[in-house]
Structures are given as structure tokens and as C-alpha cells.
Structure 1
Amino acid sequence: MIKVYGIKNCDTVKKALKWLSDNHVEHQLHDYRVDGLPADFLIQAERQFGWQNLVNKRSTTWRNLDEKVKKTLEKNTALQVLTDQPTLIKRPIILQEEIALIGFDETDYQSAFK
């Protein structure tokens, strides 16, 4: 079963979940708000995608983030900020069984789930 990390009311997560359902890919949503974040998840995601790609700069959370935090964000502080503000994490994320996807792109999903 594929675990999809995200937030259930996020439009992009909804698109990914719908695509997975429509294509008969067994999956489960891990909602950051409800289920929290596993301690090693962000570390693994950062290794795979880089901390810059984990930060969703189009989110309301980013727009509301203190300017000082935005200007001084770097690898050493990013994971802590993302842990404190999980809605700042780009979503959805799938990291398992040789599959590493961030965001939703139908072409990427088609390639990953042939």
C-alpha cells in the first residue's frame, strides 16, 4: 500500500488521491494535521528532494511566515521550521518502494505506477 503524505483538504492532494483511486493504486493518506510527522520522514524527504523543494512558497503558511524566518531559512533551520509548520511542506509526498514523488504531476504518477 502506498502512503501519501499531505493534508486531506489540499486540492493537490485531492487530485493525487483521485488519480490513485481512478488507477486502482492501493493507497492511504497520512494527514500531517491529524497523524503528525514521523521524526525520520522529513530527514528522508530532505535527502531525496532537497530542503528547498520541500518548502511550499505558494502556501498561505509561507505568506504568513515571519519575514526574518523567510530570509534566514537554510538547511540547518528548514527542517525545524517545517516540523513546526507542517502546512509549509509541499504536498503530496510519496516516499517508498523505489517511488519518490513530490507534488502532483499526472505524467510522473503514470511513470511511477505502471
Structure 2
Amino acid sequence: MQLYGLKNCDTCRAARKALPDAEFVDVRDSGVPPAILSTALDTFGEALVNRKSTTWRGLDDAARARPPLELLQDNPTLMKRPLIVDGDRMVLGWTKAAQTEMGV
């Protein structure tokens, strides 16, 4: 199981604490593998892009108009966090529903 997020994100910290066996990948340092990013975008669509983030607010209109996959590849911190990958299963965020799905 991999947990993609940011080491200084409170939500990611909570998920890491609840899932101690998950391999943590800091997207700022390592990014997200293209195959996983594509699958996540197919699974979650536009919800994968965090439009409330500081990174999003710093983008100009031209950058915001780019395809989501390109945006996320160039700016991995734009991804809603955490993205949890467990085999073929993907969970986005750390809501009560996500916690239930992960068995926490």
C-alpha cells in the first residue's frame, strides 16, 4: 500500500498514523508515477485537482486551463491528498468514508 501526499500536510499525517504499514511517498520530493496518476485521474476525474490549494491560487488562467494530467505532472502538490493506492483500489482524501473504506 502506498500513500501519496505531503509530509507537512495534517490530513496526510492523520492518514499515515492510521495506516502505519503504508509506504509514504512525498509528492513534492518524488512526484507520482505517471501510470498511477493517469489511473487516479480516470478514477476520480477533476476531483483529483485540489482547487483550494495554495499552488492552484498561484497559477495564472492559462496554466489553469491546461489538461489536468499535465497540471498534476508539473505541479504534484496540486493533487488532492492523500491518494492511497492498495493494489487495484484507490482512495482519495481522508474523509470518514475513506477511513471506512480503508478499514480504519
Contact 1:99 1:112 in 2 (8 A): no
Q: Structure 1: which amino acid aligns with 2:6? A: I
**Structure 2: runs of 5+ lacking an equivalent:** none
SS in 2 for 1:58: coil
Who is 2:47 aligned against? 53
TM-score by length of 2: 0.87
**Structure 1: runs of 5+ lacking an equivalent:** none
Which has more radius of gyration? Answer: 1
Report the Cα offset of residue 39 of structure 1.
Answer: 1.9
SS in 2 for 1:113: coil
Contact 2:2 2:22 in 1 (8 A): yes
Write the distance in 1 (CA, Å) between the matches of 2:56 and 2:91: 21
Contact 2:83 2:93 in 1 (8 A): yes
Contact 2:72 2:78 in 1 (8 A): yes
Contact 1:4 1:93 in 2 (8 A): yes
Structure 2 residue 16 is matched with structure 1 residue 17? yes
Who is 1:63 aligned against? 57
Who is 2:2 aligned against? 3
Equivalent positions of 1:89-100 (< 5 A) are 89-100=79-90
Structural RMSD (CA): 1.7
TM-score by length of 1: 0.80
Who is 1:78 aligned against? 68
**Percentage identity across paired residues of the two chains:** 38
Report the Cα offset of residue 98 of structure 1.
Answer: 4.3
Question: 1:34-81 CA distances to partner (integer Å, 9 max, x unpaired)?
Answer: 22321212111111111x1111011000110112322x24xxx21011
Question: 1:85-111 CA distances to partner (integer Å, 9 max, x unpaired)?
Answer: 111011100122343210111342233
Write the distance in 1 (CA, Å) between the matches of 2:30 and 2:74: 14
